[in-house]
Amino acid sequence: MLALGIETSCDETAAAVVDGDRRILASVVASQLDRHRLYGGIVPEVAARAHLELLQGLVRQALDEAKVGFADLDLVAATTGPGLIGGVIVGSTFGKALSLARRLPFLAINHLEGHALSPRLSNGISFPYLLLLVSGGHCQLLAVEGVGRYRRYGTTVDDAAGEAFDKAAKKLGLGFPGGPAIERAAKSGNAARFPLPKPMLGRPGCDFSFSGLKTAVAQAVEALGREPTAQEQADLAASFQEAVAASLADRTRNALRRFIDEHGPGHALVVAGGVAANTRLREVLAELARAHHNGFVAPPLALCTDNAAMIAWAGIERHALGEEDGLDVAPRPRWPLDAEAPPAPYAGAKA
Ligand code: KG4
Ligand code: ZN
């Protein structure tokens, strides 16, 4: 079984070739960061045009690196949502055209399902497990019970965790993307100097909120009455990182308790998404899992951030269950993994 995966839902254009034995024969990712940095964030129209420009070459490159041709493929899997709709249209239409021309099964993959199943590709873990998905666009706790069986325990009522890192970094003058910049600055910072609120701490449930913390960072900077010094940047970055890690750990603790109630002990806690790169976050989550006698799995970074190998793998998993999608399947900007989950508690929430 050989799958071509295509990912274009945000600002990474990616193509990958994966086989049914969990081997990643090629996984190429073209980051568009340089095109967006100028604007201090991702511009959807710029992203869509870049996907269009880059995708064909990346698919060629993935096939070349894997040393296979179109004729060797058994299926095409493309992200069909959720995400920036321009990019999703580019990738899914490309995948459909390829499947039509080569008479290959087409699998329309939910990007979140790609993240959710990625620890099975990297670590071969079995169901069920609890997933904390933390990226620039998503912040969710999901019980992953099987292929197509996801239960959302909680989501963000405003910003995603990565979005919060990006916005806080902007306020601190640390540049984009904010996560790596804040982590770097925090290394020489004193987290106790500027106490910041730890959002949702101690509240029941598994939802997240970060906009209050973002405002607190802005207010701390304003209170200085001038540009922060490098030391103040570092101290605020350290305090911010600590607050986010504490908040994520608190919400994940509630989710772990519920998950253990429902599924028994001993299953894995998995973290995925770009924010999973954060060393401090990994530390607190590993400690949390240990305290609950659960395993802790953090897929390698290349599989945590957006990539097409996880999309190809989700295609393989679904195809193994006899699934296939029609070419009339519509690209979706919003596509919750758990259709039964109640909407996030407040207006402006993300699916
Ligand atoms: O998963 P990803 O590559 O793309 C999507 O958003 O889908 O995640 C990117 C996000 C950005 O918001 C970035 O600031 C954040 O992940 N990030 C980090 C770190 N590295 C990347 N956040 C905290 N600490 C990091 N080391
Ligand atoms: Zn993602």
Confidence (pTM) = 0.93
User: Are 17 and 66 within 8 A, CB to CB?
Assistant: yes
Would you call 338 helix, strand, or coil by DSSP?
coil
Classify strands 149-155 and 139-146 as parallel, antiparallel or unpaired. antiparallel
Fold match, 2-117+305-320 / 126-298 = yes
Q: In Å, how far from its chain's centre is CA 155?
A: 13
Backbone angles phi, psi at 280, to 5 degrees: -65, -40
Residue 227 C-alpha to ligand 1 middle, in angstroms? 25
- CATH assignment, 126-298: 3.30.420.40
Q: Domains of the chain: which residue ranges?
A: 2-117+305-320, 126-298
Reading the chain (351 residues) residue by residue, the pLDDT tens digits are 999 999 999 999 999 999 999 999 999 999 888 888 888 788 899 999 999 999 999 999 999 999 999 999 999 999 999 999 999 999 999 999 999 999 999 999 999 999 999 999 999 999 999 999 999 989 999 999 999 999 999 999 999 999 999 999 999 999 888 999 999 999 999 999 999 999 999 999 999 999 999 999 999 999 999 999 999 999 999 999 999 999 999 999 999 999 999 999 999 999 999 999 999 999 999 999 999 988 999 999 999 999 999 999 999 999 999 999 999 999 999 999 998 888 777 534 444
Specify the ligand 1 atom closest to the Cα of 160: 12
Give, for ligand 1, the residue of 11, 139, 165 to mutate: max count of ligand atoms closer than 8 Å to Cβ.
165
CATH superfamily, region 2-117+305-320: ATPase, nucleotide binding domain (3.30.420.40)
Structure tokens at 139: 């912040």
Q: Which ligand is nearest to the Cα of residue 31, counting in written order?
A: 1
